[in-house]
Structure 1
Amino acid sequence: MAVSFKQFSFSILVGWSSFQSSLYFFSRGRASWYTARVDCRQRGADLVIISSLQEQVYLSRQRYYTAWIGLTDRETEGVWKWVDETPLTVGYWMQSQPDNWRGREDCAHLHRYRRRWNVEDCNEHLSWICEMKV
């Protein structure tokens, strides 16, 4: 069955919100960072890369839950990279973060109350934010 461009565009937009040149999907469920990333990729997106203060403010105003973002130091402790392999240049960390508490925190999330980034064990189950560049 062929899908017209109009139908395809509408199906992508359902459940997504837009800001600047990206579309965002805010999950309702919870999953590990790894599973969250798979879900985003299945949607034709990836975990969000926060590249400006404006984007940080926009996303922090949308969330009612703590949510995974596409930032990790899994490969090398203390070397933070986005899911597209670009290095972190500007961060919006909570005070005293990243701390790698108990040596197990390698994935970043947007904290629901503080509206800043925190680190967590990648196997914890949190909500997540997908981003699709348009």
Structure 2
Amino acid sequence: MLYTGNREWSRWVVHGSKDDVCSRSCWTHFGKSCYFYSKTVSSWEKAQHFCSVLGMQLLEVDSPEEKDHIRTILQTSSWLSIRDEEVEGTWKRANGTILPRESSFWHRNEPNGGHQENCAVVREDGEWYDYPCTSQLPWVCKGHP
């Protein structure tokens, strides 16, 4: 099943290249990755679940070039795959890998929320901020077709 972005699911099997799949509304690609931008909002947990249903993961940004691409598709703050709910200050991706402390994608003075802001968002400027995980925000899924 494929999410169309307008609160409907398609039962069609999609065949073709990443260019075929990513040319649909709400889909883009950069390098070897395909991105789905949700126009609906949800908590971090639900966003992560929706991405896994699509066979994708919540957005992970791995390079300055990818950060620039993400800035072109964002319309508002959106969830990232990282959070520090297990150990305060230790930011992990949804797949369990630890984010290096020296990551340069955080906005100046971020993360700063202590125990109240344990999930991360990326804003339109491409900078990362910590945020309460129960907030209702759009999300971006990333996958590899």
Alignment equivalent of 2:113, drawn from 85, 95, 100: 100
Choose the corresponding residue for 1:58, options 69, 80, 83.
69
Unaligned runs of 5+ in 1: none
| Structure 2 unmatched runs, 5+ | 1-10
Per residue, is there more helix in 1 or in 2? 1
Query: Is 1:5 matched with 2:18?
Result: no
Return the TM-score normalized by structure 2.
0.80
**Alignment size in residue pairs:** 131
Matches for 1:8-47 after TM superposition, within 5 Å: 10=20, 14=24, 15-47=26-58
Higher RCO (Cα < 8 Å, 6 or more apart): 1
- Deviates further, 56-65 or 29-38: 56-65
TM-score, reference length from structure 1? 0.86
CA distance in 2, matches of 1:5, 1:61: 27
Runs of 4+ residues over 4 Å off in structure 1: 1-4, 9-13
CA–CA distance in 1 between the matches of 2:14 and 2:63?
Answer: 35
Deviation at 1:91, TM superposition (A): 3.7
In the alignment, residue 44 of structure 1 is paired with which amino acid? G
Match of 1:68 in 2: 79
Task: Name the CA shift for 1:126/1:2 in 2 (closer, same or farther; >3 Å).
Answer: closer
